[in-house]
Amino acid sequence: EPFDYYMFGQNYIRPLVDFRSSYVGNVSLFFEMEEKLDQGHNIVLISNHQTEADPAIIALLLESTNPHVAENLTYIAGDRVITDPLCKPFSMGRNLICVYTKKHM
C-alpha cells in the first residue's frame, strides 16, 4: 500500500508538541467553519508561518476537535518545501499549492 506521508509528518512532530500547554484559541470558530464546509461553502484562512513544521502542528492541535479540517487544509508554500530533501517528505503528506519564485531570501 502507498506510504502515508501525512501520518509520517504527524507522528514525527507529535513528540515535539507540549499538548498540556498548547491550545487553539477561539476553537469554536473551527466548529463554525466545519459547518460551513459541510454546507458546501469555501473558507480561506490567511496566515504566515515560520517553519516547515507549522502545518503539522496546526493539524495536531485540531485533530481532536476538528479532524476533518486538520486533515484537509490546503497550504500555500514556496518551492523549497518540495525541492529541499529534508522538507519534501513532510510536504508530500499535505495539500499544497506551490508558488515558484526566482527570489529566495
- Given this model, what pLDDT does residue 104 score? 61
Give yes or no for a contact between 99 and 79, defined as CB atoms under 8 angstroms apart. Answer: yes
Distance CA(43)–CA(33), nearest Å, equals 7
Kindly state the cell numbers that stand for 67: 479532524
Residues pairing with 77 in the sheet: 98
Domain locations in the chain?
5-99
Q: Which residues of the chain have pLDDT under 50?
A: none
What amino acid occupies position 35? E
Q: Which value, in Å, is the radius of gyration of the alpha carbons in the chain?
A: 15
